[in-house]
Amino acid sequence: MSSSSSPQIETDVLVVGAGPGGSTAAYHLARHGVDVTLLERATFPREKVCGDGLTPRAVVALRKMGIEPEDHPFERHHGLRIYSRKVTLELPWPTLEDFPGFGLTMTRGVFDELLARRAQRAGARLRERTEALEPVVDRGWVTGALVRDLERGEDAEIRARYVVVADGASSRFAGHVGVRRDPSKPIGIAARRYYRIDRHPGPWLEVWMDLWDGDSLLPGYGWLFPLPGGDVNLGAGLLNTFKNFSNVSAQRVFDAFWRMLPPEWNVTEDTADGRVLSGPLPMGMSRTPAAVPGMLVVGDAAGIVNPFNGEGIAYAMESAELAAELIHEALVRDRPGIAHLYPTILRERYEPYYRIGTTFVRAIGNPTVMRLLTDYGLPQEWLMRFLIRLMGNLSDGPRGDVRDKVMDTLVRLARAA
């Protein structure tokens, strides 16, 4: 609905939310010369709940925005160091043609502003402290949004030929026009906190595959990621595919995790930097539809999070670039139907792989399967080198080596299923 008394603003494309997805969409639209307005409820820099880790897949998306890691204060990592009770394993990122052999970390407070300013320099109109209250709908077509300037307390109506929704996992804006979570798809919950400690894991993202509360194996995983400046991001997550998920909170898993760590690491209240924050991870393209007439949904708002590893940033940026390219072509050709190919292309690109990931997380939700994986799978380095590719969705496809060919075959089988 719209208020007839609200002043009206015109733009070609309105982007709701200036996280990685929204800023990426705004950048790619602006570089094509499209008039784009990017809304952000908060003021940069602002905090977000995240592991702050960027895989090689996200590095590719960054470079497509003209951002070279060497030019910014990222922490670089070269793979995973995986812990369990029986083994510690160091697994470098694979050597591939399509992806670099390194990933990055940076706090979301710094990272999100970097992307938003990049979009702004490309020509996007960034409006901070502006909340998108609800879509404006005209005869079934989303034609803009009713927005509020939170500094002045004034409402306005922004009219747009297309709206891109990138306002995160709960996406109230998209919910107004019927976008809902599919309860059959997995969802994760994670909690994280920053610490200033002397320990630095070097060029590794550290991951704990089995978390113990006394003698009880908890349904979750933990991480310790190095950050620029020497801080670390310490976090833990759990999936709703795990048995007794509803009886275990993210806070409980987080508390059990940090208490597992060696005392000499000095992870304590005294070394904590800020509060424990938690948030949801909607996985496997779990929020649908991904588009309604006049509106495309990207990133976490569409549930485009990798079920294997909870990675959302790379997929937010990739889906946003896809949405931007389709909208640009639709505007140039004056053919709205082109933009609405978005859900079909999205499914073709991700659904078979996500189907494999969903099957995997359902399997490890069984405590017996999880114990078998940690006790017998983790010590097998050849298996884990394959899994780091599969779980990170890092492959050169059928032209690659044997591991890539196996991955390609799995995806083809999932597509045919």
Q: For position 212, what pLDDT does the model report?
A: 82
| 3-41 per-position pLDDT tens digit | 455 688 999 999 999 999 999 999 999 999 999 999 999
- 413 membership: H or E segment, kind and range: helix 402-416
pLDDT of residue 5: 59
Q: Is the pLDDT of residue 249 over 90?
A: no
- The whole-angstrom separation of Cα 35 and Cα 11 is 6
**pLDDT confidence of residue 357:** 95
Specify the 3-state DSSP secondary structure of 33: coil
Average of per-residue pLDDT across 311-319: 97
Question: Torsion angle of alpha carbons 33, 39, 42, 46, nearest 10°?
Answer: -40
Percent helix, strand and coil across the chain, each to the nearest 5: 40, 30, 35
Lowest pLDDT segment from 151-165, 203-217, 327-341? 203-217
CA distance 314 to 316: 5
- Tally of CB atoms within 10 A around 278: 19
pLDDT tens readout for residues 269-280: 999 999 999 999
pTM of the full structure: 0.95
Flag whether pLDDT at 148 surpasses 70: yes
Residues 6+ apart with CB under 8 A from 207: 80, 81, 82, 83, 221, 222, 223
Please tell me the predicted confidence (pLDDT) of residue 6. 66
Say how far apart CA 346 and CA 360 lie, in whole Å.
21
The C-alpha angle with vertex 152 and arms to 149 and 154, in degrees rounded to 5, equals 55
pLDDT of 1 above 50: no
Q: pLDDT per residue over 344-401, tens digit each? A: 999 999 999 999 999 999 998 888 888 888 888 989 999 999 999 999 999 999 999 9
Percent of the chain at pLDDT exceeding 70? 98
pLDDT at 337: 94
CA distances, 79 to each of 12, 71, 89, 197, 244 (Å): 41, 21, 11, 21, 31
**Sign of the C-alpha dihedral, residues 155, 28, 105, 227?**
negative
Q: State the residue for tokens 């995240």.
A: 50
Judge whether 285 and 302 are in contact, CB under 8 Å: yes
Average pLDDT, the chain: 94
Of the two residues 106 and 200, the one the predictor is more confident about is: 106
376-402 in b/e form (b: 16+ CB < 10 A) is ebbeeeeebebbbbbbbbbbbeeebee
For tokens 């909208």, name the residue: 327
What pLDDT, in 10s, does the model give residues 206-216? 999 888 877 77
User: What architecture (CATH level 2) is domain 8-78+107-183+283-354?
Assistant: 3-Layer(bba) Sandwich (3.50)
